[in-house]
């Protein structure tokens, strides 16, 4: 059985004067599957045959049943994460933890993240973690190989309030609005060093 070591870091969110709880999980053990996945983690090999959808909107709708602003927000953060880490859709190079209250519409972000990155729950490269309020919603991303920083994507609180309780007839308009907004209007990014490392 794999041993699990947890390191917990409190990350100061200076702009809001609050704090985010980041749980960094480091799994180690003798799992043959883990070793094979690590060995065969390069783009184009038999382990990574996923292709980015040509129509992300339609793909979210097929997967989730509808498109809503929280889906699109997750998709936008996922796309930003790929750019930030210089990786491609479906490469499974990133470890993503989506911190949300465990109820809709917040959890809808996770399906957007899946469609935005090509990461998936079954490969354990995207996971949900619970926070107690919308003010603490964030997405923590780092490379599986440990290189580089952890990047925290923190949705703008005023935007979250704008989409917190959408009515069914508002979903289309709010989703289109989210898809057309600038990244900095939707979220901010904060880079921190992983536990056990020092800042540059």
DSSP state of 170: G
CA 5-19-187 angle, 5° bins: 100
**Interval 14-62: pLDDT, tens:** 333 333 444 434 444 445 545 554 554 444 455 566 777 776 767 776 7
Fold of 56-192: 60s Ribosomal Protein L30; Chain: A; (3.30.1330)
Which residues lie closer than 8 Å to 160 by C-beta, 6 or more apart?
Answer: 134, 137
Name the pairing type of β-strands 150-155 and 3-13.
unpaired
Chain-centre distance for alpha carbon 89: 13
The pTM of the full predicted model, rounded to 2 decimals, is 0.73
Q: Which residue in 95, 75, 86 sits closest to 146, CA to CA?
A: 95
Domain ranges within the chain, ordered by starting residue: 56-192
Tens of pLDDT, residues 67-104: 899 999 999 999 999 999 999 998 899 999 999 999 99
């Amino acid at each position: 059985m794999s041993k699990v070591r947890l390191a917990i870091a409190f990350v100061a969110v200076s702009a809001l004067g609050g704090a985010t709880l980041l749980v960094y999980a480091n799994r180690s053990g003798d799992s043959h599957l883990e070793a094979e996945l690590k060995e065969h983690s390069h783009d184009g090999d038999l382990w990574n045959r996923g292709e980015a959808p040509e129509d992300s909107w339609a793909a979210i709708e097929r997967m989730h049943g509808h498109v809503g602003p929280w889906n699109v927000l997750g998709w936008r953060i996922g796309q930003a994460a790929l750019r930030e880490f210089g990786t491609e859709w479906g490469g499974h190079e990133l470890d993503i933890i989506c911190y949300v209250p465990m109820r809709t519409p917040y959890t809808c972000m996770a399906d957007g993240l899946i469609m935005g990155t090509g990461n998936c729950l079954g490969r354990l490269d995207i996971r949900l973690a619970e926070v107690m309020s919308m003010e603490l919603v964030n997405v923590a991303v780092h490379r599986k190989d440990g290189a580089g920083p952890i990047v925290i994507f923190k949705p703008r609180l005023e935007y979250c309030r704008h989409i917190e309780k959408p009515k069914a007839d508002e979903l289309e308009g709010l989703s289109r609005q989210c898809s057309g907004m600038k990244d900095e209007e939707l979220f901010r990014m904060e880079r921190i060093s992983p536990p056990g490392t020092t800042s540059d």
